[in-house]
Structure 1
Amino acid sequence: MNDIKKAAEIILNSKKTMALTGAGISTESGIPDFRSSSGYYSKMDPVKSLSKDVLLNDPKRFYSEGFLILNDLYNKEPNKGHFALAKLEELGKLSGIITQNIDNLHIKAGNKKVYEVHGESRNVHCMSCNRVYPFSVMKEKVEKKEIPPLCDACGGILRPNVVMFGDMMPNDFLKAQQQIANTELLIVVGSSLQVSPVNYLPSYVDKLIIINNDKTPFDRDAELVFHESAGEILTEIVEEVEKELK
């Protein structure tokens, strides 16, 4: 039995399967990762450019550096890997996705149960009255040099709905922990499993399938490890699952 068929068999026999995704699943959508030599952080210090403190106290720096990442994600499209996970959920073999990504691509691909543990870039909100706006409103204001962009209702400062350095983890992280508690199989896709606290989640499941270009600290504990393209491998696995279900 080859590894694709074995992965499909493990998924088919699992009582509950979740996926954990990182930047590696989105590189095929033209989105750089964060920590590689060509990643987003190679051109900036994220602690200084993507922090709540800088947003409030040095907004010109935030909007000339950190905001560029959010702006770059605008209107990106899902790839084969995202669509494969959406299909797996549709087949009833994936209970949900825990994602470290803020690119919204799992939702665009059609997944219904997505836990965005680092926030999302679809919306922004006012820090004073909590009014929510689509990201396009902040984008337009920044393009018009309104820095910081302000709430039309109360004049408060708008901020992205992403988890920045200095922020607490969102409710989605607590929900993700609850989901992991009774998960039998976790499919890790495109994550180095080095960013805390999300990197602790694989410790709580019995079985792991890891799909990532580089090695991870959990490779030796996994049932299967694929150091290959996430899009291709996920597509092949899900096609095999669908074939077995027919």
Structure 2
Amino acid sequence: MTVSPRGPAAAVLLLEDDPAIAQTVGFVLEREGYRVRVCGWLHEARAALAETAPDLAILDVGLPDGNGLDLCRELRQGPHARLPVLMLSARGEEADKVLGLELGADDYLAKPFSNRELVARVRALLRRAQVSAEPPAPAVAGFVVEAEGSRVRFHGELLPLTRRELGLLLRLLKAPGRIHSRDSLLDAVWGMDADSSDRTVDTHIKTLRAKLRQVRPELDPIRTHRGMGYSLE
């Protein structure tokens, strides 16, 4: 079995509505050591991205409920801005390829394609992303940020974080010891989401703490400062 550049657990999100192609691509990538989550609809892919951040996304262009290019554009404007994206499409015209690349795709593969070429492109994208990844600074004991900030390990254990929990933790990790107000965390992680409030931050900090305690019950690295906010010690 071939080990991927990011280890055998590298996660790939595959958005493909053709069951035969999805099954083939999923099988090929899993055989190479990748974990593959297959979505056949655009809304399923959005939900999957909201749950956990993959290491790479493979997006089909034509979908029953939209266009993979739309999701690529959304990725480049949100918290997954640096996620490697490979576009798949039955359209081989140069104009479609150029459009995909201009919208932020890292690579473009026209159907039909060989399994060998697909795997080679996936490896290359993951390798490139790993080389260009910015190391977290400063380092915090027990935490390791991997895959361009798309996942975090705590004392060696990969944390099963939601997108918001990951955003909060990364924000705290960027300035350990500094007190982050709820408003600053809200702006940094939720942006212009009008449905969010201070209580939203508190709730996600609570669930984040619970996941950290599942790894090391005796530790509580997130400190609450009454009336001020939170810090990472």
TM-score (norm 1): 0.28
* Higher normalized contact order (CA 8 Å, seq sep 6+, divided by chain length): 1
